[in-house]
A and B are shown apart, each in its own frame.
Chain A
Amino acid sequence: MSRAIEDTKKMIDEVLEVYPEKTKKVRAKHIAPNDPSGQCASCQVKSNVKSRPGVMTVRGCAFAGAKGVVWGPVKDQITISHGPIGCGQYSWWARRNYYNGQTGIDTFGTMHITTDFQEKDIVYGGDKHLDAALVELKELFPLAKGIGILSECPVGLIGDDIEAVAKKKVKEFGMPIVPVRCEGFRGVSQSLGHHIANDTIRDHILGKGKLETSTPYDVALIGDYNIGGDAWASRKMLEEMGLRVIAQWTGDASVNEMGIAHKSKLNLIHCYRSMNYICRHMEETYGTPWLEFNFFGPTKIYESIRKIAAQFDDTIKVKAEAMIEKYKPKMDAVIEKYRPRLEGRTVMLYVGGLRPRHTIGAYEDLGMEVVASGYEFGHNDDYKRTYEVMKEGALIIDDATEYELEEFTHRMKPDLVGAGIKEKYTYHKMGVPFRQMHSWDYSGPYHGFDGFGVFARDMDATVNSPTWDLIRRKK
């Protein structure tokens, strides 16, 4: 074991000391020093298992994964938060999945639509109520292309048959009605919600869309939720290199696009965690290959563009190289401006999906080092992809608690922390520069050539803000 690994191990043990015995044992399996070589057996973290009760986990639930992440952004479908009032209220337009359309007329992304369960629905069941709700929605929103029924906890507990209600209405309405069993108590985190949502895309939408013509350059952009316009920035690049993006999942997606992705020649997946399931399905069923890529920061962008172009003929390769040539001066200018201001600064990340590993290259382009990273709801395959891109002895943390994040921050003293809204203001109070890395702190895009400049500008604004120096620190 190297010195770096040993030091980190010692720090982890100290932080875990406060826990009751059983919880300490469990948490110890989720936090480890990084070992890119793979030789340290105890350095592999355990993941995708239940959070311990009472520890203040950062995690959310399956509903958040299915409604908030995967289905919510589909713009011309009405997404019902089916159950009591809260879940839909708290996830109302919180993820900034940008879309074009006239809200309330042909698109519905920024609306909170709920069956608002009352006690009688719990006692007598909510199916009749749901049936009637679907009729009312159909009448008030004639241009909707589908309706998703996203179940909240009570629906699954009282034994409602939302599938039967949906099936009946599909025939009546002649459009997809998608029952999604994403009750919050299912699974251990948002992750199962993604999987459940993927399965419902497979069962109710995929293969049913219209695509008039096909070209050899058709691709689908998968696992980009268009937060702050990310998918648009990525699409711009794919189009410029000569590809035809036939579907965008699910940021700014239409129901039709959800139905035609299998017809692409290559599925390009950004957020592996939330949409690998459906990519595997399309590969197995339709033979559509898929490829992971990373559009954060120029190093990874160039690498990804070349990797994507390599799947196509020379016309694409030539255009891809020309595009890199065109944008490189701008990327260099961004680095020239911001790198001197950020060089050598350390970063702690605790996020979800793809970001704990995908943003590392972008920080490195700016001369920053990610010294700790972790996933709210990652699986083993996410961590495997992470070990190799981080330094030996870096901290890897799965399903962190708020206590642990604070403690590791005190010990590691990162210059910047990137996590979510629940962490943000604790760090502000601690006087530690912080960026929300779920919502881009209401900025963005961060993807692609157009995103990198915004990313660099934002990191600089926060790391070097004069406001931190105003804090009169109590000892």
Chain B
Amino acid sequence: MIKLKIKDHSELFQEPEYQAQFERKKEFECCPTSEEVQTISDWTKTEEYQEKNFARQHIKINPVKACQPLGALYCALGFEDTLPFCQGAQGCVAYFRSHLNRHFKEPVQAVSSSMTEDAAVFGGLNNMTEGMENAYALYKPKMMAIFTSCIAEVIGDDLNAYTKGAKEKGVIPSELLTPYANTPSFVGSHITGYDNMLRSILKSLTAGKKSEPNGKVNVIAGFDPYTGNYREIKRMLDMMDVKHTVLSDVSDSFDAPNTGQAKIYRGLTRIEDTMDSANAMATVSLQKYSTLKTMDFINKEWNQKTVVKIPVGVRNTDALLEELSKITGKRVPQELEDERGRVVDAMVDSHTYVHGKRFALAGDPDLLLGMVSILMEMGGEPVHIICTNGDKNFHEDMETLLASSPYGASGKVYINKDLWHLRSLMFTDPVDLLISNSYAKFLWRDTGTPLIRYGFPLFDRHHLHRYPIIGYQGALNIVTSIVNTVLEELDRATINTTSFDVIR
């Protein structure tokens, strides 16, 4: 009887027989010598390389952004009984679904009109009509939220006419809600798509619904990939006794309880509440750059007060609660004040490990604005700030934020840049810690800078999206992850020294 030891890839290929195999294989690879590789590797870490790297105008290398229709799909899934319908090629929807599956570890249901070469020539009318008929028969939604991917945009499909036609033909019921948004992938990014879809849904569902004030506050989370944030904002509003409607509440869509049943629709924003949202006393958005058009629409078309507050960090959360208090006349309850006290206490206790630490960050504009705020509150110093999908306004916002604190003095913000740019910066001007998504782990490998995972997508760690990063609880989560990463690294660095302390 032999002793069974099963080794998978993580151990197996380290074995000598595999290492020897890899050496033998080089004979056929015509690969450069290890000296050549070393020379180039060293060169990529230089100022000279950085200059060439920053001079590039025509290619992105490891960018931090996705495309519009992904954001549109994400937004649509927060609404009650809503099926996202993409007018475009089927591969797009396969990609959007799998991308979201990998971040949330949750099912994602959406359909495509499967446009192919003939649709490119003759237009996508037949695909859309048959697609709506099939999708309705199978999945019986109350709303089909329609958006586009490249092919429909390039050939110029008329979503309005096609949808009307489908209803006239009777392939879908006339009462089926069919808001639509144009979401070309060659404009903006996933945050733009979120904005476009949300505006379209609100515009379509609230048409003619303006009536008496309903005494509620609308809350828009923006393209927020943390289901914990949705639950956190609702919890805070309940504590304040503020009646609210979260517009696109995806908390169950992407974090549903396991009951042994696969429910197709898990969006928590009710259609009825959405229709009534035009009558709220105000709309508060927790992100700026993923809700620009929506907020503009609400302000102009509904004549509603609009407020943007990104509640990441203590002062930002204070500002949100004060604003809510001002809007509703409700007081911030003692329980929330106590939560504030606790997170501040935690920050005071941990400050020595974060003070003066230098950070590189990469992510969506709103995430960066929030993270930079909380870092500076702890005495951390944001240094390299990379935003692939940030624009000039964001650049200005970030510079203003950096200028508001002495800890922002060494911060520099780069829009339209990517993780390969950041690699250069991290070699020529090293930092202590890196905050970004899972793909930044390659920077961790190359530069040895510890990565604290925040943003989207987070593929290689589980359940992070369930923990809020907004509000006082969110601040506590962020503080905990940062300080413990610092301590973990300190242990690693001192493992064979007398500094290997038990009490820190």
A235 in contact (CB, < 8 A): yes
B106 x A91 contact (CB < 8 A): no
A425 x B6 contact (CB < 8 A): no
Query: Given the known A-B contacts A236-B21, A429-B262, are A86 and B139 also in contact in the complex, defined by CB atoms under 8 Å?
Result: no
Q: Report the stretch among B59-67, B194-202, B280-288, B314-322 that lies at the interface.
A: B59-67
Task: Mark contacts of B1-33 with chain A using CB atoms, 8 A cut-off: 1 yes-contact digit, 0 otherwise.
Answer: 110101111001100011001101100111110
B91 x A56 contact (CB < 8 A): no
CB-CB under 8 A from B89, the residues of chain A are 61, 153, 184-185
B101 x A422 contact (CB < 8 A): yes
A173 in contact (CB, < 8 A): no
Task: Mark contacts of A128-147 with chain B using CB atoms, 8 A cut-off: 1 yes-contact digit, 0 otherwise.
Answer: 01101100110110110100
B114 x A20 contact (CB < 8 A): no
Nearest CB in chain A to that of B119: its residue: A185
Interface centre among A20, A186, A239, A429 (most CB of B within 10 A): A429
From B7, B31, B66, B139, A254 is in contact (CB under 8 Å) with B31
Task: Mark contacts of A233-259 with chain B using CB atoms, 8 A cut-off: 1 yes-contact digit, 0 otherwise.
Answer: 101100100000111100010111100
Measured CB to CB, the closest approach of chain A to B387, in angstroms, equals 14
B414 in contact (CB, < 8 A): no
- In the bound assembly, the distance between CA atoms of A456 and B4 in angstroms comes to 12
B410 in contact (CB, < 8 A): no
A276 in contact (CB, < 8 A): no
A433 in contact (CB, < 8 A): no
Measured CB to CB, the closest approach of chain B to A444, in angstroms, equals 5
Query: Given the known A-B contacts A84-B185, A140-B53, A329-B2, are A133 and B9 also in contact in the complex, defined by CB atoms under 8 Å?
Result: no
B134 in contact (CB, < 8 A): yes
Query: Given the known A-B contacts A106-B40, A232-B13, A431-B258, are A257 and B28 also in contact in the complex, defined by CB atoms under 8 Å?
Result: yes
- In the bound assembly, the distance between CA atoms of A235 and B201 in angstroms comes to 54
Q: Report the stretch among B125-133, B428-436, B465-473 that lies at the interface.
A: B125-133
CB-CB under 8 A from B61, the residues of chain A are 111-113, 140
A474 x B260 contact (CB < 8 A): yes
From A60, A232, A406, A471, B90 is in contact (CB under 8 Å) with A60
B186 x A117 contact (CB < 8 A): yes
CB-CB under 8 A from A118, the residues of chain B are 186-187
Measured CB to CB, the closest approach of chain B to A320, in angstroms, equals 18
A457 in contact (CB, < 8 A): yes
Interface size band for A: 35 or more
B475 in contact (CB, < 8 A): no
Interface size band for B: 35 or more
Nearest CB in chain B to that of A51: its residue: B114
Query: Given the known A-B contacts A76-B31, A453-B4, are A136 and B446 also in contact in the complex, defined by CB atoms under 8 Å?
Result: no
B114 x A471 contact (CB < 8 A): no
- In the bound assembly, the distance between CA atoms of A329 and B2 in angstroms comes to 7
B327 in contact (CB, < 8 A): no
B4 x A330 contact (CB < 8 A): yes
Nearest CB in chain B to that of A452: its residue: B6
B4 x A52 contact (CB < 8 A): no
Measured CB to CB, the closest approach of chain A to B91, in angstroms, equals 2
CB-CB under 8 A from A51, the residues of chain B are 90, 114
Query: Given the known A-B contacts A136-B59, A236-B21, are A422 and B128 also in contact in the complex, defined by CB atoms under 8 Å?
Result: no
Measured CB to CB, the closest approach of chain A to B192, in angstroms, equals 11
B439 x A129 contact (CB < 8 A): no
- In the bound assembly, the distance between CA atoms of A170 and B182 in angstroms comes to 38
Which residues of B from 41 to 89 have beta carbons under 8 Å from A? Answer: 41, 44, 49, 52-53, 55-63, 65-67, 69-70, 85, 88-89
- In the bound assembly, the distance between CA atoms of A427 and B108 in angstroms comes to 12
Q: Report the stretch among A28-36, A40-48, A95-103, A363-371 that lies at the interface.
A: A95-103
Query: Given the known A-B contacts A113-B60, A450-B12, are A184 and B92 also in contact in the complex, defined by CB atoms under 8 Å?
Result: yes
Interface centre among A57, A89, A154 (most CB of B within 10 A): A89
Q: What are 10 A-B contacts defined by CB distance under 8 Å?
A: A61-B94, A85-B60, A105-B41, A110-B442, A186-B117, A426-B107, A429-B259, A429-B262, A431-B258, A454-B6
* B residues at A contact (CB < 8 Å): 1-2, 4, 6-9, 12-13, 17-18, 21-22, 24-25, 28-32, 36-37, 40-41, 44, 49, 52-53, 55-63, 65-67, 69-70, 85, 88-92, 94-99, 101-102, 105-117, 119-120, 127-128, 130-139, 149-151, 154-155, 171, 184-187, 189, 256, 258-263, 420, 423, 439, 442, 446
The 4 tightest CB contacts between A and B, nearest first, are A61-B91, A86-B67, A53-B131, A54-B131
